[in-house]
Each structure stands twice: as C-alpha cells, then as structure tokens.
C-alpha cells in the first residue's frame, strides 16, 4: 500500500464502478470485479479500498479540493443541461440535482465534515 494512511476520492467523482456493479448484480445476478487500483483526485494510484465518495471519510486534502471542484462543475453542468433538455429533465429537477452537488461540494470543503 506504500504507507499512505489517507483515504482518497477517485478522480472521476461520479465514475460509479460500485453502482454499476450493484445494478448488474441486482438485475442479472452478475457481479463484475471492482478495479484493484484507481487514480485519485490528487493524482496517486491507490487501492480501491482506500477511496470513498463520502466527504466524512476522505482525509486527503488535495482529493477533498478536487471533489469540491468536480461537484461544483457538475452542478453547473446539470443546470445547463436541464435548460437545454427541458422535456427530459425540467429546470426544477435540474436545480434539485445541482443543489445536491453543491451540498456535497460544501461538505468536501468543510474542515470537519
């Protein structure tokens, strides 16, 4: 493990390997393997087990900052797309999702999340 004691966040904060794996398992009874190592927001490659999407678990400051920026970017993107795709996702729905991302960004920026 290289002696790094920190919990990191994956570089793609919405990558969702675990979500896809769980969806396949519940739908088809298939369970693919999760990657053994992933790239993190701080640029390291660490074991998947040393990452978390939860702000209260991530201890690497650079990863916290990365996750905050990514969630703010995603909030803007969701709002932009909801204006363009009003028939698929309404601006009100887009605002709810954007607010969720902003809340996560705030939690990643908090020193004590």
Q: pLDDT for 84-113, tens place per residue?
A: 876 677 788 888 989 999 999 999 998 544
pTM, entire model: 0.78
**Cβ neighbours of residue 84 under 8 Å, at least 6 residues apart?**
none
Average pLDDT over residues 5-23: 74
Question: What are the structure tokens assigned to 42, written together?
Answer: 């701080």
**29-42 pLDDT per residue, tens:** 666 566 689 999 99
DSSP 3-state percent helix, strand, coil across the chain (nearest 5)? 50, 10, 40
Residues 89-102 as b/e (b if ≥16 CB within 10 A, e otherwise) read beeeebeebbeebb
User: What pLDDT, on the 0 to 100 scale, is given for residue 106?
Assistant: 97
Task: Parse the chain into domains and list their residue ranges.
Answer: 17-107
Question: Considering the chain, what percentage of its residues have pLDDT values greater than 70?
Answer: 75
User: Measured between alpha carbons, how far is 76 from 86 in angstroms, rounded to an integer?
Assistant: 15
CA neighbor of 68 nearest in space, from 102, 45, 112: 102
- Determine phi and psi for 8, rounding to 5 degrees: -110, 180
In which band, very low, low, confident or very high, does the pLDDT at 44 lie, cut at 50, 70 and 90? very high
């Amino acid at each position: 493990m290289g002696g790094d004691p920190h919990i990191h966040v994956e570089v793609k904060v919405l990558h969702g390997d675990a979500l896809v794996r769980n969806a396949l398992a519940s739908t088809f009874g298939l369970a693919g393997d999760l990657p053994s190592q992933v790239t993190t927001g701080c640029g390291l490659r660490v074991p998947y087990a040393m990452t978390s999407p939860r702000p209260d678990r991530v201890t690497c400051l650079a990863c916290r900052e990365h996750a905050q920026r990514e969630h703010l970017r995603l909030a803007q993107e969701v709002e932009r797309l909801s204006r363009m795709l009003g028939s698929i996702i309404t601006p009100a729905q887009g605002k709810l999702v954007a607010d969720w991302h902003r809340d996560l960004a705030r939690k990643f920026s908090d020193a004590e999340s």
